[in-house]
Structure 1
Amino acid sequence: MDTASAQVFAQQWVAAWNAHDLDAVLSHFTDDAEFSSPVAAQLLPETEGVLRGKPAIRGYWAVGLEKIPDLHFEVVHVYTGVSTIVINYRNHTGALVSEVLELNNHGLVERGHGTYLADDAAGSSGA
């Protein structure tokens, strides 16, 4: 992914999150995408932090939006790699977070990872 495309992707991603529009966020993911997050491990321990498929990812993010009604992200940096984009952002609590997103040939996320600077990821996310 080139830098310009990564910037467009990140702006669409943050706009969807800030609108709390799960359909728009999930439109960037394949149906069988996998997403891992230490927050998921804390909020939904039965998942062991790994969500498989859009329905599971939607369910996790819906719980997050319910617990964090003032959720808001601000993109700080966007990094590109080979079929990878990293969106570094500041959340509504001021915490820095990075999403590492692995893309397929069509530019859709096949695998994503939420990464945090704190051991208590749920706490730093306000959940």
Structure 2
Amino acid sequence: MDNHEAIAFADKWLVDWNNHDLDSLLAHFAEDVTFSSPVAARMIPGSGGVVSGKAALRDYWTTALARMPDLRFEILATYAGIDTVVINFRNQNGGLVNEVLTFRDGLVVRGHGTYLT
């Protein structure tokens, strides 16, 4: 993934999140995606913060958006790796977050929400 592709992905990711458009957002994720996040650990008891599969990711994000209807992100930086994009952003509460996304065949297969402690 080059810098232009990473930035284009992050720009689309931002629009989809800020519009709360889960269909568009999930179109970038593989059916067998695995996503981990401390937020998922709080919202999905017993998950250990790990969500497996696109359907489960939809359920998690639907629940999260219902609990946080004011959710909004602002991208601060985007980093491109070989098959990875890191999106550094600020959330609606002013928190600093990185989303680390690994791609296979153009789709996200693994993601990690990471938070400044």
* TM-score exceeds 0.5: yes
1:113 aligns with 2:112: yes
Identity of aligned residues (%): 53
- Within 5 A, what are the aligned runs for 1:88-127? 88-104=88-104, 106-118=105-117
**1:16 paired residue number:** 16
Which residues in structure 2 correspond to 1:1-127 (within 5 Å)? 1-104=1-104, 106-118=105-117
Instruction: Tell me how far apart the structure 1 counterparts of residues 48 and 58 of structure 2 sit (CA, whole Å).
Output: 16
* TM-score (structure 2 length as normaliser): 0.97
TM-superposed deviation, 1:45: 2.0
Q: Distance in 2 between matches of 1:102 and 1:24?
A: 18
Instruction: Report the 3-state secondary structure (helix = DSSP H, G, I; strand = E; otherwise coil) of the residue aligned with 1:115.
Output: strand
TM-score (norm 1): 0.90
Two-structure CA RMSD over aligned residues (Å): 0.7
Moved over 3 A (4+): none
Aligned-pair CA distance for 1:33: 0.5
3-state SS of paired residue (1:71) = coil
Residues paired across the two proteins, number: 117
In structure 2, the gaps of 5 or more residues are: none
